[in-house]
Structure 1
Amino acid sequence: MDLELHGKVTLITGPAKGMGRAVSLAFAREGAVLVLAGRDTAAIEPVAAEARAMGVQALVIACDMTRPAQTEALAAAALQAFGRIDVLVNVAGGSGPIGKTGWETSTEEFEAIVQLNMTGCFNTMHAVLPGMVERKSGKVVNVGGTFGMRGRAGRMAYAASKWGLRGITKSFALEAGPYGINVNCVAPGMVDGPRFRDKVCANMADKLGISLDEAMTRHAADYALKRVSTDADVANACLFLASDVSRQITGIDLPVDGGWALL
């Protein structure tokens, strides 16, 4: 199916690795024009190079999403380069403390992950939406998480930040809908990769005295499909919500979790 994303100017935050890299290259394969934003531009450049090798334009811009002045400058630079922003995909985020109860979590840890996962997405939407409203067209896809749908012991701060992002998404969807703009949230479950293996599985393995492979198997057992999601699964969901195939869908949480949130 042609998702008709060819030539669509797509701003993606957090594109250097993991889900962000997979999302960026998925849009590149569809022929989108990429604006790749993050704090470490040296880490983003290899992704941009891969995209350019596919024949698409890829602009790399340094931006700390927690700083409003930088997100406003990011949107301005993208508009100057390409004249519009058709799609915003907010992937940038962090995991916060892992394995700590709420009362063990420090105020600083809580505020840091809320600032990154919630305020960062608000800042980019605040910067990009006015242009979309003016053109009466646009797609916003926020990458949340299923812990923001069910909560999770030992991940209170992260769950709170992703739960808050759901509220931001739904409110923006109601406000932007009359202007023909779709705002949705992709909610990954556990996604196989370095963060999952080296942090989440390592924490379980250490606590239970089991191997990393056993920890991965235990996580997979929690899901209806008995398998952990991949970066490509998340990227495909972002493509769907960024395309007009999903034109009548807005304000939703789309779990990409093998059936964890429903259990």
Structure 2
Amino acid sequence: MTNKTCGADQVTGMGRLAGKVAIVTGAGQGIGEAIARAFAAAGAKVILTGRTLEKIEAVAAAIQSDGATALAIKADAGNANEAAMVIQRAVDEWGRIDVLVNNAHSFTDFLPLEDPKMEANCKVDLQSAFFGSLQMMQAAFPHMVAQGGGSIINFGSDFGIRCEPGFLAYAASKEAIRALTRTAAREWGKHNIRANTILPRAMSPKALWYLEETGTHDAELARVALGRFGVPDDIAPTAVFLASDDSAFVTGQTIGVEGGVTMF
């Protein structure tokens, strides 16, 4: 679990999301967990989804122990029926959906472009990341329209822009998400529905292992203008901003929260 600093009011702004209902996919660990905890600390009621019920229940319990409101629902990203179920559960429980965070994404390992398994890898990543985000957005759309608006936060990656060798499946899915986000911003802005993409850089244990294994740790660190790898709590405050009314005039944007690796 992330540390509790992301729940502190000096980080999130206590009450900044008071009265809002938020859904965070992939909330059992890492960035998703940090965002769910920060949202709850800022006053939101939060639904956490993930593939492993025990993980999201543990995060929900920690949120509840801090006096906030959270509900854990087992759901796989990329399953349309489960996306519809999660959205309906939010409406049944709390009557609205103000914020949707599409963080969940299956990750396929390094694979050269010429490998025959590449097509299968692309389908895995696109199903969980792109179609998973699309399905959640489509299911939430009528409820956000009916209530007068909402905020959608999707997740891209600087790998999608850099196109590092061996990561076509991941890069393609992340760039598809950026296109999805901008299209939603264009089409749904008239309904006061905002959509933005965060490019995060928060090192997971697997990512750090990979950098050490491939000998690219120092090279990747050298790309970071601020001189350090991020942690999940570095990402959460930007998500809180995009979920809050402070970002009421921000939509269709890609925001890098990665220490200055990618500068637009």
TM-score of the superposed pair, with normalisation by structure 2: 0.90
Query: Counterpart of 2:98?
Result: 86
Letter in 2 for 1:180: N
Query: Counterpart of 2:130?
Result: 118
For residue 101 of structure 1, the aligned residue among 112, 137, 148 is 112
Partners of 2:41 and 2:14 lie apart in 1 by 11
Unaligned runs of 5+ in 1: 206-214
Alpha-carbon spacing, 1:181–1:94, altered in 2? closer, same or farther (3 Å): same
Query: Counterpart of 2:204?
Result: 193
Given that residues 220 and 227 in structure 1 are in contact (C-alpha distance below 8 angstroms), is that contact kept between their aligned partners in structure 2? yes
Letter in 2 for 1:241: L
Runs of 4+, deviation exceeding 3 Å: none
Partners of 2:53 and 2:152 lie apart in 1 by 23
Shift of 1:245: 1.1
Partners of 2:212 and 2:114 lie apart in 1 by 22
Partners of 1:203 and 1:119 lie apart in 2 by 31
Give SS of 2:18's match: coil
Partners of 1:84 and 1:241 lie apart in 2 by 18
Q: For 1:134-153, what per-residue CA distance to the aligned partner results, in whole angstroms no more than 9, with x for missing partners?
A: 21211110122111223222
User: In angstroms, what is the RMSD of aligned CA positions?
Assistant: 1.6
Following superposition of structure 1 onto structure 2, how do residues 146-157 of structure 1 map, counting pairs within 5 Å?
146-157=158-169
Following superposition of structure 1 onto structure 2, how do residues 30-69 of structure 1 map, counting pairs within 5 Å?
30-69=42-81
Given that residues 118 and 169 in structure 2 are in contact (C-alpha distance below 8 angstroms), is that contact kept between their aligned partners in structure 1? no
Identity of aligned residues (%): 33
Give SS of 2:129's match: helix
Q: For 1:39-88, what per-residue CA distance to the aligned partner results, in whole angstroms no more than 9, with x for missing partners?
A: 21111111001110111111111212211111111111110011001111
Query: Counterpart of 1:246?
Result: 247
Shift of 1:3: 6.3
Given that residues 87 and 140 in structure 2 are in contact (C-alpha distance below 8 angstroms), is that contact kept between their aligned partners in structure 1? yes
Partners of 2:22 and 2:189 lie apart in 1 by 19
More off after superposition, 11-20 vs 128-137? 128-137
Partners of 2:189 and 2:18 lie apart in 1 by 23
Structure 1 residue 136 corresponds to structure 2 residue 137: no
Query: Counterpart of 1:262?
Result: 263
Partners of 1:216 and 1:223 lie apart in 2 by 11
Q: How many residues get paired? A: 251
Unaligned runs of 5+ in 2: 1-12
